[in-house]
Structure 1
Amino acid sequence: MEEWTIRAGEAGKRLDAFLMERKGWGRSFFMKSLRTKKIKVNGKKEEPSYRLVEGDRVRSFVLEEKKTAPVDILYEDDHILAVNKPAGLLSLDVTGVAKDTLLDRVNHFLRAKGEPPAYPVHRIDFNTSGILILAKNPKDGEILDRMIMERKIRKSYLCVAAGRMTPEKGRLENQLFKDAKKNRVYVTDHPVKGSKTAVTEYEVKSFRQGLSLVECRLLTGRTHQIRCQMAHAGHPLLGDDKYGSKEWNRTKKERRQLLCSYKTTFVFGEEAGPLSYLSGRTIKLSHVPFVEKYFKGVEI
């Protein structure tokens, strides 16, 4: 419980304005707290418009939420959010077990502004970093879902791979099938029962000290697609213990795959309805830490 005694300089302020300024709450959060009788003035409930009087005692019985880490907002408007997910953080959690996810952080950010929660339309692996798109309402979420299914939202990744890839520009096309129990994807060059086609276009951006900086553009969206296809091609990602060499990764002191969703381009038109204004827009990271570490000076 927190209590404030109103001073002369605070007299005349509205109750809602006083608490939102003092606590940094959004209006919807304040109204919910008032409605559930967690805000009282001199021991009783008052309206949001109540004008405070010198000597009033304002009490809050709101249990403060655990502080949430900030979120890196890359783009925001009335319809969508684009955020930069750090490696080592879940995009979201459907089990309810995780105490901190990117979606939690985004919704905390929105709640502080008095806005409703966001709708995620895709995920990024726990140990992969980069751009994640979220919708601000269900209708826009459905449109984004459809655009992703129709491959009208292009996602490009940067990764650090072992060895020199040849040719330096090409296309990886394989059959992938997933072992759900092992959470592992297997690659074959021919269709097998349960397999799905995976296609990735790639281009080597730089080669230094036995490592290739590779840009990959997904033409399909399969689980662990880039990681397992690159390993199958003989160029596992640095830091990827599942599909690469744990011993090599330890010599480099990398414990997470160096893979980042660094660029997203909207290539749809009027078929996106209220989101058609995004057509042709590209959202891109200006800085990727592992590029600076291994390929300093290379423009992305």
Structure 2
Amino acid sequence: MRELTIGKNDAGQRLDRFVAKALPLLPPALAQKYIRLKRVKVNGKGSKKDVRLLAGDVVQLYINDEFFDQPTEANAFLTLFKPQLDILYEDENLMLLNKRPGLVVHADETEKVNTLINHVQAYLYQKKEWNPRGENSFTPALCNRIDRNTGGIVIAAKNAQALRVINDKIRNREIRKLYLCITVGRMQPSQGKLECFLLKDEAKKQVFVYHRPVSGGRSAVTLYRTLETRGELSLVEAELLTGRTHQIRASFADAGHPLLGDGKYGDGAVNRRYHETRQALYSYRLAFDFPTDAGPLNYLRGKAFSVSDVAFKNKYFP
């Protein structure tokens, strides 16, 4: 914690604007968050961001010391952002990351700073593998997305060539993506295919399932096989043949077997009984099944990567 006393030259400023000037390395969105969380206090008390400071006020800042540094050419980007990544695999072209449930992949209306892509870019910048000042347009990017409350493998491309190849392979279904999930009840049959059309409602951030073509709807195909059943819960492996928003969650719910913990498509009574607030869904295996040329990424052909430690599997199907 550091304290800053307001002098006459700083008096009259809004709290948030004073913090922005005093800590130029602190991202604006993070500064606003810290004020809301009362990690920035005025005279020992939490204050609103628009409070006007008076001469003699003491501002307490419960903020990491590195944000008090002054920006230089070397640290003006994300040098002081401390990346936290679970890296399954990394080479000169890409990274495979095990995203934890609860972390958003890109900034949204709820989170601007603590995102997977920010962790990736800070990591590569600090390793001196990427310098935004030396690039005309390329920025390290994620090749696939996973919902906030779903965990699993995300591919990050380190260069434009790798990004193009992986995007092409995903679009042409040359990368297999397998998920583990827990369904309520037993799928009948125990192994099969779910086919439907999904229509996305942007306002509700939800998809609706149809069993006939509808305007704006997109086909969704999911393969599944039941691995184990205990009581009313089943451990199921699902493979996406298409990659639609909420595809697995909506498809299984439509089949009468929603995912445990799913607050949007699931069974609230069951979720409360098991005290689960996040869908039991994990992108646990990725296989590079390239039937066609992959150019600079041909060395990945035939390789597969898996996450062995999936919390809900360990809990219900140890």
Is the structural similarity TM-score above 0.5?
yes
Q: Distance in 2 between matches of 1:96 and 1:163?
A: 33
Match of 2:244?
222
Q: Distance in 2 between matches of 1:85 and 1:70?
A: 10
For residue 105 of structure 1, report the CA deviation from its aligned partner. 1.4
Whether contact under 8 Å (2:83, 2:120) holds in the other structure is no
For residue 118 of structure 1, report the CA deviation from its aligned partner. 2.2
Asked if 1:132 is matched to 2:154, the reply is yes
Match of 1:108?
122
Whether contact under 8 Å (2:81, 2:122) holds in the other structure is no
Relative to structure 1, is the Cα distance of residues 227 and 277 closer, same or farther in structure 2, using a 3 angstrom cutoff? Answer: same
Q: Which amino acid aligns with 1:200?
A: T
Question: Which runs of at least 4 in structure 1 moved beyond 4 Å after TM superposition?
Answer: 61-67, 94-97
Asked if 1:80 is matched to 2:94, the reply is yes
Q: Distance in 2 between matches of 1:64 and 1:139?
A: 24
Match of 1:195 among 217, 220, 241: 217
Q: Distance in 1 between matches of 2:316 and 2:111?
A: 36
Q: Between Structure 1 and Structure 2, whose CA radius of gyration is higher? A: 1
SS at match of 1:271: coil
Match of 1:172 among 179, 191, 194: 194
Relative to structure 1, is the Cα distance of residues 112 and 210 closer, same or farther in structure 2, using a 3 angstrom cutoff? Answer: same
Relative to structure 1, is the Cα distance of residues 252 and 69 closer, same or farther in structure 2, using a 3 angstrom cutoff? Answer: farther
Whether contact under 8 Å (1:269, 1:276) holds in the other structure is no
Give structure 2 stretches of 5+ with no counterpart.
Answer: 1-70, 131-138
1:197-243: per-residue Cα shift (whole Å, max 9, x none)?
10000000000121000000000011000000000000000010100
SS at match of 1:145: helix
Q: TM-score, normalised by structure 1?
A: 0.76
Q: Which amino acid aligns with 1:75?
A: Y
1:115-165: per-residue Cα shift (whole Å, max 9, x none)?
115221111001100000011101210111111000001100000110011
Match of 2:41?
none
Q: TM-score, normalised by structure 2?
A: 0.71
Q: Distance in 2 between matches of 1:97 and 1:288?
A: 25
For residue 110 of structure 1, report the CA deviation from its aligned partner. 1.7
For residue 64 of structure 1, report the CA deviation from its aligned partner. 8.6
Q: Percent identity?
A: 44
For residue 106 of structure 1, report the CA deviation from its aligned partner. 1.7
| Larger RCO, structure (CA 8 Å, separation 6 or more) | 1
SS at match of 1:247: helix
For residue 192 of structure 1, report the CA deviation from its aligned partner. 1.4
Match of 2:285?
263
SS at match of 2:270: helix
Give structure 1 stretches of 5+ with no counterpart.
Answer: 1-31, 39-60
Q: Distance in 2 between matches of 1:63 and 1:138?
A: 20
* Root-mean-square deviation over aligned CA pairs: 2.1
Match of 2:104?
90
Asked if 1:245 is matched to 2:267, the reply is yes
Match of 1:231 among 236, 245, 253: 253
Relative to structure 1, is the Cα distance of residues 284 and 97 closer, same or farther in structure 2, using a 3 angstrom cutoff? Answer: closer
Q: Distance in 2 between matches of 1:264 and 1:63?
A: 32
Structure 1 window deviating more from structure 2 (267-276 vs 96-105): it is: 96-105
Structure 1 window deviating more from structure 2 (207-216 vs 88-97): it is: 88-97
Q: Distance in 2 between matches of 1:275 and 1:64?
A: 29
Asked if 1:186 is matched to 2:213, the reply is no
